[in-house]
Amino acid sequence: EDRPGDKRLVAYLVPAENATIDLTELRRAIADAVPEYMVPSAFMVLDRIPLNTNGKVDRRALPAPQVSHVTQGRAPRSPQEEVLCGLFAAVLGLPSVTIDDHFFRSGGHSLLGTRLISRIRQAFGVQLGVKDLFQHPTVSALSEQVTAGNGELPRPALTSEERPELIPLSSAQQRLWFLDQMEGPSPTYNIPLALRLTGPLDHEALRLALTDLTTRHESLRTVFPTHEGRTHQHILPPAPVALPLTATTEEALPALLAELSARTFDLATQAPVRSHLLALGEREHVLLVVIHHIASDGWSNGPLFQDLTTSYAARIEGLAPEWAPLPVQYADYSLWQQRLLENDEERQLDHWRQTLADLPEEVTLPTDHPRPAVASNRGTTHTVHCPAGLHDALISLAQDTGSTLFMVAQAAVATLLSRSGAGHDIPLGSPVAGRTDQKLDSLIGFFVNTLVLRTDLTGDPSFRDLLSRVRETDLAAWAHQDLPFDRLVEALNPERTTARHPLFQVMLTVGDTTAEAPGLPGLDTAYEYSAVQIAKFDLTFGFEEHRTDDGRPAGLTITVEYATDLYDPRTAEATADRLVRLLTGAVTSPDLPVGELELLSAGERGLLLEEWNGLATGTPDKNLAELFAAQTHRTPDAIAVVADDRELTYRELDTLANRTAHQLIAEGVRPGSRVALLQERSLTAVVTTLAVVKAGATYIPLDTRYPADRIQLVTGQSAITHLLTDREPGRLTLPPGVTTLTTGTHSADTTDPAVPVHPDQPVYAMFTSGSTGVPKGVAVTHRNVADLAAQTMYANGHHHRVLFHSAMAFDASTYEMWVPWLNGGTLVVAPAGHLDTAAYQRLLTEHSITALWMTAGLFRLVAEEAPEAFAGVREVWAGGDVVPPDAVRRVMDRCPGIAVVNGYGPTETTTFATTHRVDRPLAADSGALPIGGPLDNHRLYVLDDHLRLVPPGAPGELYIAGTGLAQGYLDRPALTADRFVADPYGPAGTRMYRTGDLTRWNHEGALEYLGRADQQVKLRGFRIELGEIE
């Protein structure tokens, strides 16, 4: 390891006695047996392997590799190739390379590539980009590009020069200074570096070494005052550094480190670095160095620790460190950056304007909590590990596709976000070192820039094809990396908000394992890690590579840093686990569409398909007339209906309905006939409805408020044979051959007609809105309604007296009539016409209503005006739209013991498909009520566009299957086939209904309603297509 983080694979060999080693043949044999990246870049022949006192290899005693680096490639053929070989070897940390050695297969990566291109620019005066290196990764190929002089505009030289009186901030510094001014001093951008030092520590030598460090690097003694409205860099003169000593214990150490790390800086007056020495014992210390990000970045840790080690080694000997002067300081870089952007800013900006045109404003993982108006930056992390085999396979995939591990990680994270509901256009942020000139390599400072890498997942590409897209995007981005992120934000001018980061909300980083702690003489050193409770972005995915001592892949650590304002720990844990599964699938099946790569664990699949789906209970194999007759036989004298100041027992209602049914049969109603009902809600209306069922026909309720042309449309489309009405039908235009009957006429025959009707025949058809402007009739079967009435949730007896107040043509009437009738309860019919709050309060009280259904809007109105109206009600069901939590709280506060049930279900699923029961007070900060879990014998699926299960927490379209599924749409087979599709997760031959509603599963296994996927809206519980209005 020549530089921190830049590791190389070196082979150390001990020949057998009297044997010699042919290094060329050895390397060829190894290359035939293992991937190229596992072939050592250097071979060292030793007499023996040095061991330490524990019998383990003493790595520090191993000699540095010499010119024993053996390759199979060709030697340089020209001075130009010779110079390039030297530059390759220097950057890679190898003794030599040939013109055929592949840069990235020899240990190179994008950051080293940036350094190499910088040196090539300086050596040859040509302008190449990192993209050229990816396309021409050998000396032989790249030499041709140097000759051709490909590349960018000439770049100004970076030199140490005379400085103006007010030194401007670099673009990166300006961004952090602005955030500091806007948000106030904050620990968000503090960088804590903690080293555990074991052994005899020289406190004064360490303090002097820290002083030497700030003397050498001006960035560590720079403040940022404002003069006449201009903020500038003011470099303080060198001064002794304070290193206070604080005694502590192992138990108190984490909290003390956190407290010291969180202390803020006043950037205008305080140097951006402070140090603390914590004493755990005479020979045990922790050095904490806290640097504000405005003065340093992650890449700076290398030169920082290298210089600290050099200086401490000198100071313990009573000497000043001897080091070569730095060619430039950070202030020189700031001035050079200005000149660089003057020449090239517009060209780079044009690239980013085109690349990021129409970028979505917010792309992130769906959140567990509403986004606050101001991000608090509170966060934490969750870490998972990928095994060495997966790490190895990912590297092989990157090499096979001409990409890098970073690109593989980007493709995987973008796929994960897309599969989790973030869409198909995924922008990710990613840091680049920003050290595009080699003179910056040894400097401490804030050079890092942020790139916005946009990943296009449209068309469900294979992972291999997605990598190709990512590679093209990233190479172009790296070729335009000089444009500061804040300039990009200023130019694109996205909607500014304190709630989220502009342009992207998810960050991706990929790096090597943190370098070994600096080897301070006489001390054992190790990094001391402490949890940092900060998240600058919604999510940050950090990939960290591990290697074995011989350079082989040893696994990946993936850390998910997440904003705790937005996400719960279990969401982060599940997200990390899914990412590992996705990576595993990508290397196993890179040619599969990314949407088909396995995302779910077996446990999650079990939750979605089994545990969170409905109980399988028996459904009566009888039609509704038979079920009503059976209930009448069980409870003949119980009150079945109350209306118009009359009460009818089950026996009386049955007799009256039988007489009406015989009259209908006499008028030509036959099994399967379609009978339209145009009548106000009344006792006669419910008797007539029951009579049509007894006659074996299908009833089609019409709303008396319908305009004449809609009645004409519905009656014509449904091919009715009869119209039953309680009013003068003279103004109606009906299809030819329709028989019009007036309600209230009866036969003298009181026997049960006992018309044979199969339970799977339609019992009613209700018309809902159609997207083309043509309403569609939903045909619901006897079995569908019988299943609704047989739900185990009614066993508590709360639905004993149910208020019938819905419009006859609204599917809530199915619940209001048939649930009490088939369970021996009482149906209380509300007077016709509009009911105000006072009328509801009177009805609920006078008739001792125990259960009722209300639209969400009506429930909210009564809750606001007279919540005490529900005092005697055991259960109030609400739905048809979003049920307001504040209305629920108000009702439950006034009516202890009541349960509020959020009921959801399209007409196509027989009134209800899901319920969520609230029987205890809601928390003050609770959000929208879930729509809950499925009814018995129902299955719920949240699916993507390709009918694949989406993970818990991810949005998708809701599909419903089970016994409640309607037969389809009357006489519209094409529309039925479009909305009622084959169920790929249920028994063979079963169907599921595509609702058009966006939902997601929460952690408790309840569905949350997110909105419509189409142009449909709700009005008083009715679904209305905008196309029908238009």
For the stretch 342-401, pLDDT in tens is 888 899 999 999 999 999 999 988 999 999 999 999 999 999 999 999 999 998 898 788
Tokens of 160: 């140490």
CA gap 742, 678 in Å, rounded: 10
- Please tell me if the domain spanning 79-148 has the same topology as the one spanning 167-332: no
3-state helix, strand, coil in the chain (%, to 5): 35, 20, 40
Residue 434: band (very low, low, confident or very high) from pLDDT cuts 50, 70, 90:
confident
On the question of pLDDT at 3 being above 50, the answer is no
* pLDDT computed for residue 34 by the predictor: 67
User: Considering the domain 341-514+531-590, what is its CATH architecture?
Assistant: 2-Layer Sandwich (3.30)
8 A C-beta contact, residue 454 and residue 426: yes
Residue 789: band (very low, low, confident or very high) from pLDDT cuts 50, 70, 90:
very high
* pLDDT computed for residue 686 by the predictor: 96
For residues 179, 183, 186, 189, the Cα torsion angle rounded to the nearest 10 degrees is: -20
Chain-centroid distance of CA 734 in Å reads: 54
pTM score: 0.82
* pLDDT computed for residue 4 by the predictor: 39
What is the SS3 assignment for 819-876?
HHHCCCCEEEECCCCCCCHHHHHHHHHHCCCCEEEEEHHHHHHHHHHCHHHHCCCCEE
439-474 per-position pLDDT tens digit: 998 999 999 999 999 999 999 999 999 999 998 898
* pLDDT computed for residue 543 by the predictor: 96
Cα angle vertex 508, ends 505, 510, to 5°? Answer: 170
Most confident of the following: 45-59, 762-776, 815-829: 815-829
CA gap 112, 406 in Å, rounded: 13
Q: Please state the rounded mean pLDDT for residues 420-429.
A: 95
Which letter does DSSP use for residue 419 in this model? I
* 318-332, 396-410, 845-859, 958-972, range with the lowest pLDDT: 396-410
CA gap 110, 714 in Å, rounded: 67
Please, is 508 exposed, middle or buried when counting C-beta atoms within 10 Å of its C-beta (0-12, 13-18, 19+)? buried
Rounded alpha-carbon distances, angstroms, from residue 42 to 9, 126, 445: 7, 31, 33
91-127 per-position pLDDT tens digit: 887 767 888 888 887 878 878 888 899 888 877 778 8
* pLDDT computed for residue 153 by the predictor: 58
CA gap 192, 445 in Å, rounded: 15
CA gap 590, 599 in Å, rounded: 14
* pLDDT computed for residue 899 by the predictor: 96
* pLDDT computed for residue 72 by the predictor: 58
* pLDDT computed for residue 1029 by the predictor: 43
Tokens of 111: 């950051």
CB atoms inside a 10 Å sphere around CB 346: 11
Mean pLDDT of the chain: 90
Q: Residue length, the chain?
A: 1030
* 64-78, 209-223, 446-460, 986-1000, range with the lowest pLDDT: 64-78
Residue 630: band (very low, low, confident or very high) from pLDDT cuts 50, 70, 90:
very high
Residue type for position 577:
D
311-348 per-position pLDDT tens digit: 999 999 999 999 999 999 999 999 999 998 888 889 99
* 4-8, 420-424, 819-823, 965-969, range with the lowest pLDDT: 4-8
Residue type for position 1030:
E
8 A C-beta contact, residue 940 and residue 906: no
Helix axes 650-666, 683-694, angle to 10 degrees: 60
Q: Please state the rounded mean pLDDT for residues 24-39.
A: 69
On the question of pLDDT at 33 being above 80, the answer is no
877-924 per-position pLDDT tens digit: 999 889 999 999 999 999 999 999 999 999 999 999 999 999 888 887
Tokens of 424: 């198909």
Cβ contacts of residue 42 below 8 Å, gap of 6+?
A: 8, 10, 11, 65, 66, 68, 69, 70, 94, 95
Residue type for position 760:
D
Phi, psi of 1009 (to 5 degrees): -85, 130
* pLDDT computed for residue 7 by the predictor: 55
Q: Please state the rounded mean pLDDT for residues 224-251.
A: 96
User: Considering the domain 167-332, what is its CATH architecture?
Assistant: 2-Layer Sandwich (3.30)
* pLDDT computed for residue 519 by the predictor: 84
Q: Where are the alpha helices (DSSP H) in 238-323?
A: 253-261, 301-315
Cβ contacts of residue 38 below 8 Å, gap of 6+?
A: 9, 30, 551, 552
CB atoms inside a 10 Å sphere around CB 12: 18
* pLDDT computed for residue 408 by the predictor: 95
Q: Where are the alpha helices (DSSP H) in 12-66?
A: 23-33
User: What burial letters (b/e) apply to 555-591, b meaning 16+ CB within 10 Å?
Assistant: bbebbbbbbbbbbbeebbebbbbbbbbbbbbbbeebe
Sheet containing 739-742, strands listed edge to edge, beginning at the edge strand earlier in sequence: 739-742, 722-725, 674-678, 698-702, 762-768, 776-781, 968-969
Instruction: Give which of 404, 438, 467 is closest to 110, Cα–Cα.
Output: 404
Tokens of 199: 């052994």
Q: Please state the rounded mean pLDDT for residues 557-567.
A: 96
Rounded alpha-carbon distances, angstroms, from residue 205 to 213, 217, 242, 520: 12, 18, 12, 11
* pLDDT computed for residue 734 by the predictor: 87
Four-residue CA torsion sign, 401, 404, 406, 409: positive
* pLDDT computed for residue 461 by the predictor: 97
* 26-40, 209-223, 408-422, range with the lowest pLDDT: 26-40
User: What burial letters (b/e) apply to 478-506, b meaning 16+ CB within 10 Å?
Assistant: bbbbbbbbbbbbeebeeeeeeebbbbbbb
Query: In which element (H, E) is residue 563 found?
Result: strand 553-563
Rounded alpha-carbon distances, angstroms, from residue 799 to 685, 817, 867: 21, 11, 20
* 204-208, 310-314, 792-796, 811-815, range with the lowest pLDDT: 792-796
8 A C-beta contact, residue 711 and residue 731: no
Cα angle vertex 329, ends 323, 334, to 5°? Answer: 165
Instruction: Give which of 378, 429, 478 is closest to 112, Cα–Cα.
Output: 478
248-304 per-position pLDDT tens digit: 999 999 999 999 999 999 999 999 999 999 999 999 999 999 999 999 998 899 899
* pLDDT computed for residue 82 by the predictor: 64
Tokens of 501: 């980061």
Tokens of 764: 């009613």
Q: Domain residue spans in the chain?
A: 79-148, 167-332, 341-514+531-590
The owner of tokens 């792309």 is: 363
CA gap 215, 203 in Å, rounded: 18
* pLDDT computed for residue 29 by the predictor: 82
Query: In which element (H, E) is residue 781 found?
Result: strand 776-781
* pLDDT computed for residue 118 by the predictor: 87
CA gap 95, 806 in Å, rounded: 86
676-720 per-position pLDDT tens digit: 999 999 999 999 999 999 999 999 999 988 888 889 999 999 999
* pLDDT computed for residue 516 by the predictor: 65
Q: What percent of the chain has pLDDT over 70?
A: 93
Domain 79-148 has CATH 3.30.530.20: no
* pLDDT computed for residue 551 by the predictor: 62
Please, is 258 exposed, middle or buried when counting C-beta atoms within 10 Å of its C-beta (0-12, 13-18, 19+)? middle
What is the SS3 assignment for 168-220?
CCCHHHHHHHHHHHHHCCCHHHEEEEEEEEECCCCHHHHHHHHHHHHHHCHHH
The owner of tokens 């959140």 is: 367
803-832 per-position pLDDT tens digit: 999 999 999 999 999 999 999 999 999 999
On the question of pLDDT at 1013 being above 60, the answer is yes
Of residues 360 and 24, more confidence is placed in: 360
Helix axes 624-634, 650-666, angle to 10 degrees: 150
Instruction: Give which of 299, 275, 287, 266 is closest to 444, Cα–Cα.
Output: 299
On the question of pLDDT at 65 being above 90, the answer is no
CA gap 893, 202 in Å, rounded: 68
Report helix, strand or coil for 283: coil
* pLDDT computed for residue 771 by the predictor: 62
* pLDDT computed for residue 1015 by the predictor: 54
Four-residue CA torsion sign, 419, 421, 426, 432: negative
